[in-house]
Amino acid sequence: MKNVQWEQLKRTEFEQYIAADAVVIIPVGATEQHGRHLPVNTDTSCCYAIARAAAERIEDVKVLVLPPIWTGYSPHHMQMAEAAGTISLGFHTFADLLTDVAACVYAHGFRRIMFLNGHGGNTALVQAVRFKLGEEKQISSVHCFTYWTLPDVPELMQSISETDKGHIGHAGEFETSLQLLLQPDLVDMSVARWAGTLGDPTTATAEKGGKVFEAVVTSLMNVIRRYHAGEYEDSRVCRKVI
Ligand SMILES: [Zn+2]
């Protein structure tokens, strides 16, 4: 398996990736309560695994994946009773963190930088950071995608959904399915309830998680190719590609 992890390269090894106009993915997760049955690293785990799988499988474009941003924007989960574990940054801290990380990647010569978001509460902020990077750093080529809205993924989720009507929700059918695939030892289905979550985790299966994972990774690989080919250039408009 080729190594796609940014943090494992030596300083002399980046040059080949810069010369190849590599796509650099910054996974953006969260540490946030996910009901009684899922670990608080659920969002980070999902987007990081997806980014790494796409980077490892794609042959025609060089891709590097940064260590995931594990602190997201989750103020709505800090006040919940009997729901410890959330670590949320403030609004401006989170925006500045993403700005600084992307600006460092850019400073080394990378021009194709992509945030891959895995937490609903981050979505608007991550998209807005694109404008912030343009305004403050004159960096206009960064793109952002949220994994469950990548092309073809909503349709796949809709087609296999039994209870959540295809929505990602929160600790519901699909996040639980993905965690049964990715971190089964950290999932406790005996306490999975349709309460304190957004969606119904009881219909989750690892098989369903596998279908979603494959659809997301395939779609992300296509997006990486399109981004590398210049398809999104001069697009300063934040948009969901669906
Ligand atoms: Zn989540």
> Three-state SS string across 115-149, please?
EEECCHHHHHHHHHHHHHHHHHHCCCCCEEEEHHH
pLDDT for 207 beyond 80? yes
- Distance from the alpha carbon of residue 78 to the mean position of ligand 1, in angstroms: 14
Computed over every residue of the chain, the mean pLDDT equals 92
- Distance from the alpha carbon of residue 43 to the mean position of ligand 1, in angstroms: 5
Specify the pLDDT at position 237. Answer: 44
- Distance from the alpha carbon of residue 50 to the mean position of ligand 1, in angstroms: 14
- This prediction has a pTM of 0.94
- Distance from the alpha carbon of residue 221 to the mean position of ligand 1, in angstroms: 22
Q: Which of 61-65, 80-84, 160-164 has the highest mean pLDDT?
A: 61-65
Q: What is the mean pLDDT of residues 157-183?
A: 93
CATH number of 6-148+216-228: 3.40.50.720, 3.40.50.10310, 1.10.3720.10, 3.10.129.10?
Answer: 3.40.50.10310
- Distance from the alpha carbon of residue 2 to the mean position of ligand 1, in angstroms: 29
- Distance from the alpha carbon of residue 19 to the mean position of ligand 1, in angstroms: 36
Question: Could you tell me which residue, 3 or 234, shows the higher pLDDT?
Answer: 3
Show me where the domains of the chain are located: 6-148+216-228
pLDDT for 17 beyond 90? yes
Ion ligand 1, residues whose Cβ is below 5 A away: 42-43
pLDDT for 167 beyond 90? no
Q: What is the mean pLDDT of residues 37-65?
A: 98
CA distances from 65 to 149, 202, 233 (A): 20, 32, 21
- Distance from the alpha carbon of residue 10 to the mean position of ligand 1, in angstroms: 33
- Distance from the alpha carbon of residue 86 to the mean position of ligand 1, in angstroms: 11
- Distance from the alpha carbon of residue 225 to the mean position of ligand 1, in angstroms: 27
